[in-house]
């Protein structure tokens, strides 16, 4: 499958190519003249320098020609910019929320996902904001990029013209895991998109990272599939997966797998202590993570998740207990 393109791709590439061609021609002309003058006026052939005092024709030529070229470049650049900033009225609207270090896409009917699903051949408008620091939403294949700034709503639009996935990057350095702030825009056939958009499920299969490949057999029974999905949704919504994995692999914070029941080596007011990771410990570690800093992770600040309601908090704790 080829990389999808947007209605900007061709236009912008043409402008870019034209500017490159102009630049190369200019470079060749300047080099040719330079070489010619070096040979023509070297000391052997031209022993006596003769200064020139003004040449109006020449001055007009070297002013007017570059002016025309630069004006042409400006015209096409400006037209391209206007096209980019004027969102068509009928655009399909999606809200984008950036935060360290993931993207969330919110649709008008209440759906959310971690990949941007869009219908083919339809104008799409993204209204974007950030929950923390400056990010930049970048779809290289579509030739669109726009800063995503806290406390502000920025926008961009595009019209996808081929089906398939394309990369989404964060193009503004935003901290330790900036390079992992990745997502995808997935262009779907209109019928396929419609089925997903109006479908019952709140998110497409890949929206919440699945734990099924993360040792499902060893999860404690008694914690239902439904509770597990809800717990993962709470963790996802609170950004926990940015730093914690559930499969034992390393990330910014300790993995949640096998955490329960371990001895934790923690720093309390600079003093090292050993605490068993029981339910109470997990609760403290979620609500007030700075009070007992886990050794080896004491340089990483975890934002306290103190706005969880008691039910959500219990759900998470039970979920962590189940990850053996």
Q: Answer yes or no: are the C-beta atoms of 137 and 126 closer than 8 Å.
A: yes
Nearest to ligand CUA of 78, 180 (CB atom): 180
Of all helices (H) and strands (E), which one includes residue 185?
A: strand 183-188
The residue among 122 and 178 lying less far from ligand CUA, judged by its C-beta, is: 178
CB of 100 to ligand CUA, least distance (A): 7
Return the number of the residue (202 or 251) whose C-beta is nearest ligand CUA: 251
Assign residue 210 a region: left if phi > 0, alpha if psi is -120 to 50, beta otherwise? beta
Shortest approach of ligand CUA to residue 178 CB, angstroms?
4
The answer to whether the CB of 207 falls within 8 A of the CB of 115 is: yes
**Which is closer to ligand CUA, CB of 137 or CB of 197?**
137
The contact set with ligand CUA (CB under 6 A) reads 98, 101, 135, 170, 172-174, 178, 181
What is the distance, to the nearest Å, from the Cα of residue 139 to the centroid of all Cα atoms in its chain? 8
Q: Which is nearer to ligand CUA, 174 or 231 (CB)?
A: 174
**Shortest reach from residue 300's CB to ligand CUA, in Å:** 17
List all residues 6 or more positions away from 66 whose beta carbon is below 8 Å from its beta carbon.
Answer: none
Separation CA 243–CA 96 (nearest Å): 21
Cα distances from 180 to residues 184, 201, 211, 298, 305, in angstroms, run: 12, 27, 19, 22, 22
SS3 for 311?
Answer: helix
Evaluate the omega torsion of the peptide bond into residue 194 and state whether it is cis, within 30 degrees of 0: no
Please state the closest distance from residue 159 (CB atom) to ligand CUA, in A. Answer: 25
- Least distance (Å) from ligand CUA to the CB of residue 124? 21
Smaller CB distance to ligand CUA: residue 181 or 252?
Answer: 181
Question: In this complex, which beta carbon is closest to ligand CUA, that of residue 98 or of residue 289?
Answer: 98
Residue with tokens 């999860």: 219
Q: Which two tokens stand for residue 275?
A: 């605490």
Q: Which is nearer to ligand CUA, 243 or 316 (CB)?
A: 243
Is residue 175 left, alpha or beta, with left meaning phi > 0 and alpha meaning psi from -120 to 50?
Answer: left
Q: How far is the CB of 158 from ligand CUA (least distance, A)?
A: 20
Closest separation in Å from C-beta 194 to ligand CUA: 31
Residues contacting 17, CB < 8 A, separation 6+: none
Q: Smallest Cα–Cα separation from 255: which of 267, 241, 266, 265?
A: 241
Kindly state the smallest distance separating residue 89's Cβ from ligand CUA, in Å. 31
The H or E element that residue 155 is part of is: strand 154-158
């Amino acid at each position: 499958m080829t990389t999808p393109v947007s209605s900007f791709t061709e236009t912008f590439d043409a402008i870019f190519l034209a500017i490159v061609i102009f630049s190369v021609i200019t470079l060749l002309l300047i080099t040719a003249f330079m070489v010619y003058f070096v040979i023509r006026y070297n000391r052997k052939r031209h022993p006596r320098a003769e200064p020139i005092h003004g040449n109006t024709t020449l001055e007009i030529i070297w002013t007017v020609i570059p002016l025309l070229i630069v004006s042409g470049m400006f015209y096409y650049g400006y037209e391209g910019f206007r096209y980019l900033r004027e969102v068509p009225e009928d655009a399909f609207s999606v809200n984008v929320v950036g935060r360290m270090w993931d993207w969330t896409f919110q649709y008008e009917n209440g759906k959310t996902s971690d990949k941007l699903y869009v219908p083919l051949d339809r104008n799409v408008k993204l209204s974007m904001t950030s929950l923390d620091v400056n990010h930049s939403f970048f779809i290289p294949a579509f030739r669109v990029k726009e800063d995503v700034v806290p406390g502000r709503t920025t926008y961009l639009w595009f019209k996808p013209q081929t089906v398939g996935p394309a990369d989404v990057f964060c193009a503004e350095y935003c901290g330790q895991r900036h390079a992992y702030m990745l997502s995808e825009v997935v262009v779907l056939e209109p019928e396929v998109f419609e089925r997903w958009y109006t479908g019952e499920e709140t998110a497409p299969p890949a929206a919440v990272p699945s734990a099924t490949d993360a040792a499902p057999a060893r999860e404690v029974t008694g914690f239902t599939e439904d509770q597990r999905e809800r717990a993962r949704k709470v963790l996802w919504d609170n950004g926990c997966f940015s730093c914690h994995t559930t499969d034992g692999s390393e990330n910014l914070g300790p993995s949640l797998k096998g955490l329960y029941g371990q001895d934790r080596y923690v720093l309390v007011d600079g003093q090292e202590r050993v605490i068993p990771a029981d339910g109470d410990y997990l609760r403290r570690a979620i609500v007030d993570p700075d009070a007992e800093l886990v050794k080896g992770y004491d340089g990483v600040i975890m934002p306290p998740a103190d706005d969880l309601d008691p039910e959500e908090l219990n759900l998470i704790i039970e979920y962590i207990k189940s990850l053996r």
